[in-house]
A and B are shown apart, each in its own frame.
Chain A
């Protein structure tokens, strides 16, 4: 009886300890986000007088209006979506087809191709900034959204092929053989057999690539220079002045800029976690 109750008490203490420490960690994790949200609701005079860390003494929603209208975030958000949505669709379509061919058929050079794609991913993007901007100028697409879409697709596709290849390779060969026996051609096998089986991977990758492309700043400022074409990330640093930064407006802008990715995350939450170990086990 007493041994039993000691064990019970120990178990309870362990549970309490776990919740306490996990709760503290979660709070610490949320603290910066809370700070941004609180700052986005304060007036500039309040921040200038009491500092960013001071207790809020004002409440205003005007910062969101300033970021949205004066800061040009409305247009920037539209630009971001014009770039991000086609990029995700096209990249995944191309990557899925390439991965299908590379994983399900004995194509010549398939290993070299995969290594080339992997190698491209290992290359730091910084060294390609000048070639990319000069090349887009040469083709005559510099400072247009299609240029940014093209660059994003080009840089994304290698990684997605690599991940999808790993996933598709794990699909048993018998399924494909059965389809062949039933008279399915390669296109039908891809569309009706392999693609439906790859859906979890595609969902996870689309959520990941949406956040990556949406949050990108580097390529945007490399191939664009007109403020009317800049995506949301570039508009966000545009809120920063040359010397003085209005932290309240910047915080409001950050909240606006983060909203779409948070929405995507909440929608695809399940796949996000699944995506973390995609291709990890071969």
Chain B
């Protein structure tokens, strides 16, 4: 039943295609010129979607509303949705005003595109005066602008259960050799010494091992340069990281790459594995009655000459450069930087995070007090692989580390591939 000449049909298809293209290009250019809204409540886009963290944020917002200096509307989006949609939010014509996110190179990437509000006035004010120099540097973009307000941080460490260590007759080691000794002893007792949890959708957990070995062997400065693309992954110094890793690899839980980290923490709590390099957020996945039994020790020092560095990712807020409510945004951020706001959040949340304000109280548990001292002793603070580089570089690490865990002998080829994959992202 063909009534039409193919030529005519092709002409129509072409007409449709050009029309669509014109429409699309039209909307891309014009949406960036449309005006942003001003007045009304400041919108705070939050990725803290877990019920407890969400409730804690609601407390903070309510406390701010009680001050009557401004109004804010909290908008909580699923963490995963937030992560994928953040670039869309920031580039939209009418973006939300304030966002929960990470400082350092992640924020810097947005600052380079002129998407973040300059918070210099805020940092000159009294509220942020007392913040440490390290945080000040962390919140400064390469352009020299301050773009971030830090709120809380958490830390990474070798977590274990005190009662299990007592039962097995081992003590937290401080040196690399001591660490290997503990691993040996646990293995002889039929316990998997080191849990991992790099399976499921948490392959990124393995990056903690890479980060820590690198900052212990090559130092934090080298580590940052490496992640920024100023060094190479097939560098002999990176190779040394994996040589160390291979010493401890036989002690890793054979199921370490089978399950997600929540499965690995269950194994740790049950005594099927001995210890685990993990962030404090894992305490949220522990039953309430074992929380007091959880302790941690510092990732063993390998080379005492390397300045002591620890991983302590910071969370906080930045604001859109296109906001039409600049004064309201600054007022809200000024409040979020106070000790009071951070204490309100910590009280409402699970309480394993540390406040960034130097005078703010933490939750006061033994674990948190130890964690605070643990970070204060460090000379250098790193964030985490993806936060020190970019979300785009993280999959290259996941890929390379998964291959290394499966076939540690092929490390040279793996590092060459990693460098090749990373270059594509650095030059993109």
Binding site for B on A (CB under 8 A): 44-46, 48-52, 66, 70-71, 106, 108-109, 111-112, 116, 130-131, 133-135, 137-138, 142, 221, 225-228, 230, 234, 237-247, 249
Q: What residues on B are CB-neighbors of A46 within 8 Å? A: 287
A112-B12, A142-B92, A142-B94 known; A242-B49 Cβ under 8 A: yes
Contact B50 A242 (CB under 8 A): yes
Q: Which residue of B lies closest to A128 (CB)?
A: B24
Q: What residues on B are CB-neighbors of A51 within 8 Å? A: 263, 266-267, 270
Q: Which residue of B lies closest to A107 (CB)?
A: B3
A137-B93, A244-B284 known; A238-B49 Cβ under 8 A: yes
Contact B76 A138 (CB under 8 A): no
Q: Is B9 an interface residue (CB 8 A)?
A: yes
Q: Which residue of A lies closest to B279 (CB)?
A: A243
Q: For chain B, what secondary structure do more than half of its interface residues adopt (helix, strand, loop), or is it mixed?
A: helix
Contact A239 B285 (CB under 8 A): no
Which B residues from 289 to 332 make CB contacts under 8 A with A?
289-290
Contact B262 A244 (CB under 8 A): yes
Q: Is B34 an interface residue (CB 8 A)?
A: yes
Q: Is B257 an interface residue (CB 8 A)?
A: no
Contact B81 A221 (CB under 8 A): yes
Contact B76 A227 (CB under 8 A): yes
Q: Is B143 an interface residue (CB 8 A)?
A: no
Contact A242 B262 (CB under 8 A): no
User: Once bound together, how far apart are the Cα atoms of A138 and B290, in whole Å?
Assistant: 53
A70-B55, A225-B75, A225-B77 known; A133-B289 Cβ under 8 A: no
Q: What residues on B are CB-neighbors of A135 within 8 Å? A: 23, 27
Contact A245 B262 (CB under 8 A): yes
Q: Which residue of B lies closest to A129 (CB)?
A: B88
Q: Is B163 an interface residue (CB 8 A)?
A: no
User: Once bound together, how far apart are the Cα atoms of A49 and B287, in whole Å?
Assistant: 6
User: Once bound together, how far apart are the Cα atoms of A133 and B27, in whole Å?
Assistant: 10
Q: For chain A, what secondary structure do more than half of its interface residues adopt (helix, strand, loop), or is it mixed?
A: helix
Give B37-69 as 1s and 0s: 1 = Cβ < 8 Å from A's Cβ atoms.
000000001011111011100000000000000
User: Once bound together, how far apart are the Cα atoms of A51 and B287, in whole Å?
Assistant: 11
B side interface size, CB within 8 A: 57
User: Once bound together, how far apart are the Cα atoms of A241 and B49, in whole Å?
Assistant: 6
User: Which residue from B30, B270, B288 sits with its C-beta under 8 Å from A138?
Assistant: B30
User: Once bound together, how far apart are the Cα atoms of A48 and B294, in whole Å?
Assistant: 14
Contact A137 B31 (CB under 8 A): yes
Contact B85 A241 (CB under 8 A): no
Residue of B48, B262, B286 with most chain A CB atoms under a 10 A cut-off: B262
Q: What residues on B are CB-neighbors of A137 within 8 Å? A: 27, 31, 34, 92-94
Q: What residues on B are CB-neighbors of A52 within 8 Å? A: 263
Q: How far is the CB of B293 from chain A (nearest CB, A)?
A: 12
Q: Which residue of A lies closest to B49 (CB)?
A: A238
Give B64-107 as 1s and 0s: 1 = Cβ < 8 Å from A's Cβ atoms.
00000000000111111100110011001110100000000000
User: Once bound together, how far apart are the Cα atoms of A113 and B324, in whole Å?
Assistant: 45
Q: Which residue of B lies closest to A54 (CB)?
A: B266
Q: How far is the CB of A45 from chain B (nearest CB, A)?
A: 4
**Pairs of residues from A and B, 6 with the lowest C-beta to C-beta distance, nearest first:** A241-B50, A45-B287, A238-B78, A243-B281, A244-B284, A242-B79
A50-B266, A111-B3 known; A131-B27 Cβ under 8 A: yes
Q: What residues on A are CB-neighbors of B250 within 8 Å? A: none
Q: How far is the CB of A227 from chain B (nearest CB, A)?
A: 5
Q: Which residue of B lies closest to A52 (CB)?
A: B263
User: Which residue from A138, A234, A247 sits with its C-beta under 8 Å from B81?
Assistant: A234
- Could you show 29 A-B contacts with beta carbons less than 8 Å apart? A45-B289, A48-B286, A49-B266, A49-B269, A49-B270, A51-B266, A70-B51, A71-B51, A106-B3, A108-B3, A109-B4, A109-B12, A116-B16, A131-B27, A133-B92, A137-B93, A225-B96, A237-B80, A238-B49, A240-B80, A241-B79, A242-B48, A242-B50, A242-B79, A242-B281, A245-B262, A246-B51, A247-B262, A249-B51
